[in-house]
A = this chain, B = another copy of it.
Amino acid sequence: MGSNRLEAFSDGVLAIIITIMVLEMKVPHEPSFAALWALAPVFLSYILSFIYVGIYWNNHHHLLQTCKVVNGRILWANLHLLFWLSLFPFVTGWMGENHFAPLPSALYGLVLFAAALAYWILQQAIMATQGETSALRSALGRDWKGKISPLLYLAAVAVAFYATWLAQIIFAVVALIWLVPDKRIERFIQKGA
C-alpha cells in the first residue's frame, strides 16, 4: 500500500477542518459595525487556527513524501493525528467566542500539544519502517522546532490561567517559527532526487 491514498484522505480531512472552522463565525443578524466588531475575537482565533492547519498540511505533505510504504501502525498514527486536528474547530470556536478566556485558551494549548505529540508519533512510525539509515532521520537532523513546540504549548497551557495574553503570544510565536519554511526535508529530497 503506497502513501497516495493516505495523502488524499488526509488532504480531504484537512481541507474540511480548515473550511468548517469558518462556520463558527456565525453570520450576525444585524448589518452594523457593532455586530461585526463583536466577531473580532472569533475572527482572530480563526486566523490563528487557519495558519496552524496550514502548517500541519505543509509539514504533513513533506513528511509523507519520505514515506514509501504504509503499514497499519503508520495508518493509525496518521488517524490519531487527524483526530486531534479535528478538534481545532471546536477549541478555536470556544476560545474565540469567550474572548480568549483562561480555560478555553488552556484547552487550545492542550490540543496543540496533543497534535504535536501525535505528529511526533507519526514521524517515529515512519522512521521505524526505514531502519537506521532513514531518509527522514537524516532530513530532520536535530529537529529543534519539533522539540521546542510541545514545550512551548505546555508553557502556554500553564500560563493561560495567570496571564492569558502571554499564552496567545506563545501561540503566535510558535506559528511564526513554523511559518519560516522548513528547508531541511526539502533540501534533502532535492539532493536525493
Contact = CB atoms under 8 A, between A and B. Distances in A.
**Copies of this protein, total:** 4
B50 A75 contact: no
Contacts of A29: 97-98
Contacts of A61: 1, 5
Given A72-B181, A181-B72, A19 B22 contact: no
A8 interface: yes
Interface string A22-44: 11110111111100100000000
B86 A19 contact: yes
Interface residues of A, number: 62
A86 to B, nearest CB: 5
Given A16-B16, A20-B19, A86-B18, A54 B31 contact: no
A22 B181 contact: no
Nearest to A88: B22
Given A5-B61, A16-B19, A25-B90, A76 B54 contact: yes
30 contacts: A1-B62, A1-B65, A5-B61, A9-B14, A9-B15, A12-B12, A12-B16, A15-B15, A15-B16, A16-B20, A17-B19, A18-B86, A19-B86, A22-B86, A22-B87, A22-B89, A22-B90, A23-B23, A27-B94, A28-B94, A29-B97, A31-B101, A31-B104, A36-B103, A50-B83, A54-B79, A57-B79, A58-B76, A72-B181, A73-B181
